[in-house]
Amino acid sequence: MSGGPLYGANVFANGIRQHYLRYGGKGPVVVLIPGITSPAITWGFVAERLAERYDVYVLDVRGRGLSSTGPDLDYGLDAMAADVVAFASVLKLDAPALLGHSMGARIAIRAAVAAPEAFSRLALIDPPVSGPGRRAYPSKLPWYVDSIRLALNGIDAEGMKAFCPTWTDEQLKLRAEWLHTCYEPAIVTAFEDFHKDDIFADLPKLKQPTMLMVAGRGGVIEAVDENEARSLYPALEITRVPNAGHMIPWDDFDGFFIALGDFLSR
């Protein structure tokens, strides 16, 4: 990463402390919601590029990073979506776009359904489409839990390479530094919700222009899922990054931005 955020800050919204990093400061507002074990700082390299055109707020989802955590919180999808709605409201963000990756994309969908006037558009980056009676999410829970437990005791970039072998040294160092902030029960709940909460049911309720970005090598979204999603929301715009796995910008940074295009400000 060549630069950094303008600042990091905390806001009390939906009854919890929500920590965020702000990049850019000019242009249309974008709220970036990371995935299941990605604190905000790990998306800095993407936010920096977005900040060339947008005013970007990257969230620490509850139970991750510097946001509220602990055994007394609800880590379900509805609670995380309510956080995003409250975040935008408390900061008086004027109909920002939501860009969510993986779990963050599911949060974006649920938030947009809950508050359709609050958000202008959605960029959904390879969201899990598993659910009751559906194909299982391809990643397995121990992959997350084992790495978090190692991080709690201290792990370096070399140790993290066993879990993320294709990442750069800088990306591995960031994950090794921050993964311990991912609260295991929050991760377990979110992972289980991938299989309990069917996000397809939300798609017909969307009102905003919406993009679905598919990782060509991710194994998360298949052609049958694309067809079903479009049947439920015919205006859905689908783009693909053929040579990327689920962590699209980690695998193909330029391909991610080519696929995103000008959607966020169109």
Domain ranges, residue 213: 7-134+197-265
Where residue 247 sits, what CATH number does that domain have?
A: 3.40.50.1820
Does residue 180 carry a catalytic annotation? no
> pLDDT tier at 1 (50, 70, 90 boundaries)?
very low
Mean pLDDT of the chain: 97
Question: What's the pLDDT tens digit per position in 21-74?
Answer: 999 999 999 999 999 999 999 999 999 999 999 999 999 999 999 999 999 999
Does residue 195 carry a catalytic annotation? no
| Residue 169 within a domain | no
Does residue 246 carry a catalytic annotation? yes
| Residue 217 within a domain | yes
| Residue 253 within a domain | yes
For residue 198, the SS3 value is coil
Question: What's the pLDDT tens digit per position in 189-205?
Answer: 999 999 999 999 999 99
Taking residues 229-240, report their average pLDDT: 98
Q: How far apart are CA 150 and CA 159, in angstroms?
A: 9
> Own/partner pairs for 231-236, CB < 8 Å, 24+ apart?
232/200, 232/203, 232/204, 233/203, 233/204, 233/206, 235/209, 235/210, 236/203, 236/210, 236/211, 236/212
- Residue 59, H or E segment: strand 55-59
- The whole-number pLDDT of residue 3 equals 73
Question: Does residue 2 register a pLDDT over 80?
Answer: no
Residues in a beta bridge with 19: 10
| Residue 141 within a domain | no
| Residue 176 within a domain | no
User: In total, how many domains does the chain have?
Assistant: 1
Catalytic-role residue among 38, 67, 68, 102: 102
CA 193 from chain centre, in angstroms, equals 15
Taking residues 114-121, report their average pLDDT: 98
| Residue 155 within a domain | no
| Residue 177 within a domain | no
Catalytic-role residue among 52, 170, 222, 265: 222
Contact by Cβ (8 Å): 83, 19: no
User: Can you give the pTM of this predicted structure?
Assistant: 0.97
| Residue 144 within a domain | no
Catalytic-role residue among 19, 67, 101, 246: 246
